[in-house]
Amino acid sequence: MKPSPKGSLKQNIVETFFQKQTTAWSILIFSLVLTALAWYIADHAVEKRISERLHFQSLDLVTAIKKRMLEYEMVLHSGIGLFKASSEVTRDEWKTFVENIEIQKFFPGIQGIGFSLMVPPDQKEKHEKEIQAEGFPHFKINPKGERDMYSSIVFLEPFDWRNQRAFGYDMYSQATRRAAMERARDTGEAAISGRVTLVQETDKDVQYGFLLYLPLYQKGKPVNSVKERRASLIGFVYSPFRIKDLMSGILLAGQGDISFELYDSNSPSPKTVLYNHENTGRLLYGDKNLKPRYDDLQKITIGGRVWSIYLYAKPGFSSSSEKSQPLIVAFGGILVDVLLFFIILSISRRKKLAESIANEMTSELQEKTQELARSNDQLEQFVYTVSHDLKSPLVTSMGFIGIINDLARKGEYEKALEKLDKVVVANQRMGQLINDLLELSRVGRVDLEKKTLDMNVLIGNLCKEKEKELKGKNITLICEENFPDIYGNGSRVLQIFENLLSNAMKYGKNSKEGSKISIGSEEKKNEVVFYMSDNGIGIAKEFHEKIFGLFQRLDNSGEGTGIGLAITKKAVEFHGGRIWLESKQGEGTTFYVAFPTVEKSNEVH
Ligand code: ADP
């Protein structure tokens, strides 16, 4: 079934599309653009995933800090509870209470749990005396100085050397602490102070800290309004915190590749930094030069204060496999693109190769056709010339036969006999032509026998024979007597020399000086060169090649057929030899025939 024209057209379009080199390049560019796009998307996806992961870790951290602070608040509430449950809380009771909470074990980071009593100026002395009486003879509210209201740290457990530094300290005298105390007093809720340096700090390993306060009101008094709360305030259950101790261990296992900075403010700045998880002096937040690639800022409100947590990823945060994903996409993509390019290119190359082979075959075919046309022309020319050459003697004899016929009718036999000679000559010429043509067709036949020929015998006999013919004519024939052997067919080789000699005798005449024909030879490396020279009219240069063609004649005597030299050349070539001539017009002609030496011929055969 024939394919539909539409289908084959479509197929052709598709085929040529894939066979063009420009297609390969276009597809390469297009696929590279796609790869770049894929890389871009992959890169963004990875980036987004990493950012999201950091964000969730940030939320985890916020939750952890909040949970801790709530737990501490609960501890302080239980301290309040202790005061509310008893009429009076003694130092020992407080000590036992705090010991039971086991803060070291359950509430890491908490510095202690204390109680600070509000002391009006008129009761200051009495208060100091009471505490001194408990066995602390040097007890004084500190710092010294007259103020309109005092607070005094009465209990602070565990009562170790560090906490003893805070014993009797008036936190109300210091603005940051006082602000938190007043807030706790007025709201009735837990309040966290701003960033302070605790009085417990020595010179070593100084850390920032803060305090968490819960207000203690007089039992049974109303605390519904700020005024009522202020009126019934007794003191504060509180906890001091050293920030490093509090934060240590707050990052969970597996969070080693992130870090954070904690600020005691809604708007982070070096002045409000509370904690830097990195033990370096540098803060990354807000520093353009140090800005981490992945970061997150969270706010928390604890105890009435807003803290900012700046969490960021350290270099190891994103795994190398994660980071290499976009690169894998890019490199894999480029690899596929280039492969595709070369495949299409090789298709188009192969097509070109096929085309050039086809072109070669076509031009070869054209050459053959031309050759065929040429030989066809030659054949036509040949047939034309042969028929022409045959026709003229035929016409001649036909004409004379007619005349003879007329003469015979009239009884003029003498005249008729005369004309008959003309018919005989014309017929001889036709016969010669036919003979020559037959000879030409025979000369190259491969089944001819070849053997080593003694040229002294072959040419010697020819010369002897011709010498007889030449007697009385003004022609001298000189035959050399030392010819080398050649390998060939005797009658064909004889024909070569016969033709050349008869031509020399026919056309090489020199009536002035007398004709002189000589035959000789010369042995060369691989061939034997024979020559036959005359001192006749010579042959013009332009005919030196032509003369070996069929029907080429230089004189118009009508004697020759113009086939002899064609036969001679064919015979020479049949023996693997070559023939050429040297001549100057008016100075004679020399024909050369070169045959391969016997050894050379036997190598070939
Ligand atoms: P033909 O049968 O006419 O002799 P050839 O092929 O043998 O045909 O020779 C072709 C022509 O070459 C001759 O007609 C003659 O004009 C020329 N020719 C051949 N041999 C010689 C020669 N030795 N000197 C001058 N002309 C020659």
369 vs 375: CA distance, rounded Å: 10
- Regarding the domain delimited by 451-604, which CATH topology (the fold level of the hierarchy) does it fall under? Heat Shock Protein 90 (3.30.565)
What residues line ligand 1, using a CB cutoff of 6 Å?
503-504, 507-508, 534, 536-537, 539, 547, 552-555, 560-565, 589
pLDDT in tens, 496-522: 999 999 999 988 888 888 899 999 999
Average pLDDT over residues 227-256: 84
3-state secondary structure at position 280: coil
Q: Please report the DSSP string for 324-352 in residue order.
A: HHHHHHHHHHHHHHHHHHHHHHHHHHHHH
Mean pLDDT of the chain: 88
pLDDT in tens, 164-196: 999 999 999 999 999 999 999 999 999 999 999
Q: What is the pLDDT of residue 185?
A: 97
Q: What is the pLDDT of residue 2?
A: 44
Q: What is the pLDDT of residue 226?
A: 96
Q: Atom 14, ligand 1: which residue's CA is nearest?
A: 553
Q: With pLDDT > 70 as the criterion, what percentage of the chain qualifies? A: 95
Q: With pLDDT > 90 as the criterion, what percentage of the chain qualifies? A: 46
Structural contact between residues 230 and 219, judged by C-beta atoms closer than 8 angstroms: no
Q: Atom 23, ligand 1: which residue's CA is nearest?
A: 504
Q: What is the pLDDT of residue 190?
A: 95
Q: Which of 201, 173, 188 is nearest to 116 (CA)?
A: 173
Structural contact between residues 297 and 260, judged by C-beta atoms closer than 8 angstroms: no
Half-sphere exposure of 109 (CA within 13 A, CB side): 19
pTM of the model: 0.53
Please give the distance, rounded to the nearest whole angstrom, from the Cα atom of residue 377 to the centre of ligand 1: 24
Q: Atom 17, ligand 1: which residue's CA is nearest?
A: 554
pLDDT in tens, 291-316: 888 899 999 998 889 999 999 988 88
- Whether residue 487 has pLDDT greater than 90: yes
3-state secondary structure at position 279: coil
Structural contact between residues 359 and 352, judged by C-beta atoms closer than 8 angstroms: no
The DSSP element (H or E) to which 295 belongs, if any, is strand 295-302
Measured from the Cα of 552, ligand 1's closest atom is 10
pLDDT-derived band of residue 254, with 50, 70 and 90 as boundaries? Answer: low
Domain residue limits, the chain: 86-247, 374-442, 451-604
Q: Atom 27, ligand 1: which residue's CA is nearest?
A: 507
Q: What is the CATH number of domain 86-247?
A: 3.30.450.350
CATH class of the domain defined by 374-442:
mainly alpha
Average pLDDT over residues 78-103: 89
